[in-house]
A and B are shown apart, each in its own frame.
Chain A
């Protein structure tokens, strides 16, 4: 088999042996693709106010609108097609999760690796701060920061990053500490390479596997945190309708039995989060040498 030649090929082959994880990975890919292609796939631009007809508002799933569109998942309070709104919402939710995850990853990896490399007082103080932060629940930290900074995209990303970078830093520190005392690092340091280069090009790449595992979990949790904060009204501004915002908008109609406005965005959110978590679980099992038989 050609596939098993490269390490990546072997990884993929092992991954596909777990059926649940494979299905989950396909679901994640399909959702990501749908989100990227939302303007092409959606039957309506949900934020083009000219195309909205108020008479079509709050109609149940399957309703045929005035313009002839079949609203498979019904319409919301302003007559927009819920399926289209969900596709656009997925876009924003994924964007926020990936962006916050990437920034937290970078900050955490740099802090963790440099603490492990420098050692001494710097390491002790940094790790103490991070331990302290980890003792607060992430949702509480994100909530406090989001509340303090006010509504806005970047404010929310800052809140998510602040709540999450510590997980990356802790993991990076653990992995980098183990690498730090290996012979190849000593060898690299004895050459005229700069310390920064050794950390970035040698220690960091070898500490990546556990960081990748943390990253999948944290992207899922960033998406969930963003939805929760937007639902509570301290997250994204109304101009950025993520899934959490859609759910929040439909909440007031829930009590009168118009369940679809809140429920379907929620179902989309959960499928996304659970799939990412399942993929993350499988990657963790594969990268953990202790579980290897």
Chain B
């Protein structure tokens, strides 16, 4: 088991190193940030001073080692545009994305699991077919377009909900949250729905597949033979049995929803991480781009590591085969 952990850790380190080289080289190949930083009519002296200040005159490998050393200390430099440390900037945007993602994933699970269980419980019924049809749509329609339709319907035509922004926020533990005020909640409804739809489709499919499989097992036959009501069978037995894979997916999805948040945040001008990265790409804000990409890579490596570990704990064959 120890060998397996060491091997996976080693792979994780290699991935992070490869990512850091890739991100660094890639980001430094895009555009010239000097043009963004300095006005075109600045004197040559000022130009050189700024270039030296940001270390942009050093050879690329020296810049990389400087960057890597600082990264190990959690220092990604200063944003070219916001004039503040990147780490602070990212941390200040994190709560907005976090609350949005959490609402979307929890919402998708709370609605998707019962719908999926019903579709698996009565697979031939009309409602079940309708649910499955909707979940196929949720999979194939690009989420940015759904966002536009939501804005058009609920913000422009009906005027019920605001189209963008975060609304009023309230402070809790020294951080501003939108979900604590009514106005903030109103602002969160549309982006949360937009972000949740894809997850909802997935939860429905998983819950349906799990339910169909478990309904055929002896457990259910015995539970029914014991005279339990269908309701009790579903809640006490089926739900418990399908919960294990669903919880795994729930954890995994928290991570990947971060990636989808880029689209949703752009459409609804939600001032979170996704909006930040899009803005930093358009304004060539290199340190922010690098820090965001490294953070996402790290997040996924950690998630994958945990999943691998969990599976290895559950399945002894994996340990022996690959360690």
Interface residues, chain A, with chain B CB atoms under 8 Å away: 128, 132, 135-137, 139-140, 143-145, 147-150, 220, 224, 227-228, 231-234, 247, 251, 254-255, 257, 259, 262-263, 266, 269-270, 273-274, 277
Interface residues, chain B, with chain A CB atoms under 8 Å away: 11, 15, 22-23, 26-27, 29-31, 136-137, 139-145, 148-149, 151-152, 155-157, 163, 256, 259-260, 262-263, 266-267, 277-278, 281-282, 289, 293, 296, 300, 304
Using A259-B156, A270-B141 as known contacts, list a sample of 10 further A-B pairs with CB atoms less than 8 Å apart, ordered by residue number in A: A135-B304, A137-B260, A144-B23, A147-B289, A220-B140, A224-B142, A231-B144, A247-B148, A266-B145, A270-B142
Closest CB-CB distance, A140 to chain B, in whole Å? 4
Q: How far is the CA of A206 from the CA of B144 in the complex (A)?
A: 39
> Chain B: which residue is nearest A275 at the CB level?
B140
Q: How far is the CA of A232 from the CA of B136 in the complex (A)?
A: 24
**Looking at B29, B145, B304, which has the most chain A CB atoms within 10 Å of its CB?**
B145
Closest CB-CB distance, A8 to chain B, in whole Å? 27
Whether the Cβ atoms of B141 and A259 lie closer than 8 Å is no
Closest CB-CB distance, A143 to chain B, in whole Å? 7
A254 in contact with B152 given A137-B256, A143-B259, A232-B262 (CB within 8 Å): yes
Q: Which residues does chain A contribute within 8 Å of B142, judged by CB atoms?
A: 224, 227-228, 269-270, 273
Q: How far is the CA of A254 from the CA of B155 in the complex (A)?
A: 10
Q: How far is the CA of A144 from the CA of B292 in the complex (A)?
A: 10
Show 11 residue pairs from A and B whose CB-CB distance is below 8 angstroms, ordered by the A residue: A132-B11, A137-B260, A140-B259, A143-B259, A147-B289, A148-B23, A148-B26, A228-B144, A255-B156, A262-B152, A270-B145
A132 in contact with B304 given A254-B148, A269-B145 (CB within 8 Å): yes
Q: Which residues does chain A contribute within 8 Å of B293, judged by CB atoms?
A: 144, 147
Q: Which residues does chain A contribute within 8 Å of B148, judged by CB atoms?
A: 247, 251, 254, 262-263, 266
Q: How far is the CA of A143 from the CA of B259 in the complex (A)?
A: 9
Q: Is the interface of B mostly helix, strand, loop or mixed?
A: helix
Counted as pairs of residues, one from A and one from B, with CB atoms less than 8 Å apart, the total is 101
Closest CB-CB distance, A2 to chain B, in whole Å? 35
> Chain A: which residue is nearest B155 at the CB level?
A255
> Chain B: which residue is nearest A280 at the CB level?
B140
Q: Which residues does chain B contribute within 8 Å of A132, judged by CB atoms?
A: 11, 15, 304
Whether the Cβ atoms of A148 and B30 lie closer than 8 Å is yes
Q: Which residues does chain A contribute within 8 Å of B29, judged by CB atoms?
A: 148-150
Whether the Cβ atoms of B266 and A232 lie closer than 8 Å is yes
Q: Which residues does chain B contribute within 8 Å of A259, judged by CB atoms?
A: 152, 156
> Chain A: which residue is nearest B253 at the CB level?
A137
Q: Which residues does chain B contribute within 8 Å of A251, judged by CB atoms?
A: 148, 267
Q: Which residues does chain A contribute within 8 Å of B136, judged by CB atoms?
A: 277
A150 in contact with B156 given A234-B281, A274-B137 (CB within 8 Å): no
Q: Which residues does chain A contribute within 8 Å of B282, judged by CB atoms?
A: 233
Q: Which residues does chain A contribute within 8 Å of B22, judged by CB atoms?
A: 148
Q: Which residues does chain B contribute within 8 Å of A145, judged by CB atoms?
A: 26
> Chain A: which residue is nearest B27 at the CB level?
A148
Q: How far is the CA of A234 from the CA of B278 in the complex (A)?
A: 9
Q: How far is the CA of A274 from the CA of B27 in the complex (A)?
A: 35
Q: Which residues does chain B contribute within 8 Å of A277, judged by CB atoms?
A: 136, 139-140
Q: Which residues does chain B contribute within 8 Å of A233, judged by CB atoms?
A: 278, 281-282
Contact of A228 among B256, B263, B289 (CB under 8 A): B263
List 8 tightest A-B contacts by C-beta distance, closest first: A148-B26, A140-B259, A266-B145, A137-B256, A224-B142, A277-B140, A135-B304, A150-B30
Whether the Cβ atoms of A232 and B140 lie closer than 8 Å is no
Whether the Cβ atoms of A274 and B140 lie closer than 8 Å is yes
Q: Which residues does chain A contribute within 8 Å of B289, judged by CB atoms?
A: 147
Q: Which residues does chain B contribute within 8 Å of A144, judged by CB atoms?
A: 23, 293, 296
Q: Which residues does chain A contribute within 8 Å of B27, judged by CB atoms?
A: 148
Q: How far is the CA of A93 from the CA of B11 in the complex (A)?
A: 37
Q: Which residues does chain B contribute within 8 Å of A269, judged by CB atoms?
A: 142, 145
